Amino acid sequence: MRPSGRTAQQIRPVSITRNYTRHAEGSVLIEFGDTKVLCNASVQEGVPRFLKGKGQGWVTAEYGMLPRATHTRSDREAARGKQGGRTMEIQRLIARSLRAMVDLGALGENTITVDCDVIQADGGTRTASITGACVALVDAISYMRKKGLVKVNPLKGMVAAISVGIYKGEAVADLDYPEDSAAETDMNVVMTDTGKIIEIQGTAEAEPFSFEEMNSMVELAKHAIRELNDIQKEALIA
């Protein structure tokens, strides 16, 4: 029934390439099918002004879409002179999700910024970003530990994210663009590798949804995220 021929619970092939670029302390290209996001984690000394002198660190994220990552070219935000609402919403979501992974006190007065830049979009760019950014962040923290920039391990755990939705009346996992643009409901779920929820954001695109529908979407998300956790861990071992 799904345009891609996938089963309801089937996610797209996921590929994680570490050390994708040379300069970043953590650099991951993540692919959810045709969605490709480059996640670069940068370690910088110091913290934003509102944290100065508090003896803790900070983790933040920025998100961008290359102008022709999409079917039709969208304006370059740098040229337009501001980031749109969608961009800000997504980068705030990524940042909150990543902060849930880290003991900011153990990080010391350092900042890790994860840039998620979408090279090619086919639905699910925010969930791919979070899943890839997690791996880049793990690599950046490893780098800090090797360099002695942190004394105790600030890593509390890992996160991954998936989109689920109601498409033609049925709950499906990991919507691609054709599904996403036709879905009645779209939900993004971010979870830890211990099976707890970090963020859940469900939006009725066309029709309000019932609690039963919510529950079946959540169920799919749980399984998909467990799969993503495994893929992340394999990538980190490799």
- Do β-strands 159-167 and 170-173 pair in parallel, antiparallel, or remain unpaired? antiparallel
Please, which residues have CB within 8 angstroms of residue 78's CB and are 6 or more apart in sequence?
Answer: none
56 binds its own copies (CB under 8 A): no
Beta strands in 10-147 (DSSP E): 14-18, 26-32, 35-45, 58-65, 110-120
Which residues are paired to 60 by β-bridges? 113
Nearest to 225 by CA among 200, 207, 204: 200
**Dist CA 108 CA 154 (whole Å):** 9
Residue whose CB is less far from its own copies, 1 or 13: 13
* Contact between 184 and its own copies per CB under 8 A: no
Q: Is 92 annotated as a binding residue?
A: no
Q: Please select the residue that binds its own copies; options are 200, 226, 227, 236, rule is CB under 8 A.
A: 200
104 is a site residue for its own copies (CB under 8 A): no
| Closest approach of its own copies to the CB of residue 154, in Å | 16
- Residue numbers 30-49 binding its own copies by CB under 8 A: 34, 36, 38, 40, 42, 44
Name residues contacting its own copies, limited to 124-183 (CB under 8 A): none
Asked if residue 140 lies in contact with residue 41, where contact means CB atoms within 8 angstroms, the answer is yes
For its own copies, the binding residue among 16, 27, 171, 216 (CB under 8 A) is 27
* Interface stretch with its own copies, choices 47-55, 83-91, 146-154, 224-232 (CB under 8 A): 83-91
Interface residue with its own copies among 115, 139, 176, 180 (CB under 8 A) is 115
22 appears as a binding residue in the annotation: no
Establish if 117 lies at the interface with its own copies (CB under 8 A). yes
Dihedral angle, C-alpha 41, 124, 94, 228, nearest 10 °: -70
- Alpha carbon distance 34, 119 (integer Å): 10
CA 57/CA 190 separation, integer angstroms: 22
Binding site for its own copies (CB under 8 A): 21-24, 27, 34, 36, 38, 40, 42, 44, 62, 64, 66-73, 76-79, 81-83, 85-89, 91-92, 96, 100, 113, 115, 117, 119-120, 122, 187, 191-192, 194, 196-204, 207-211, 214, 218, 222
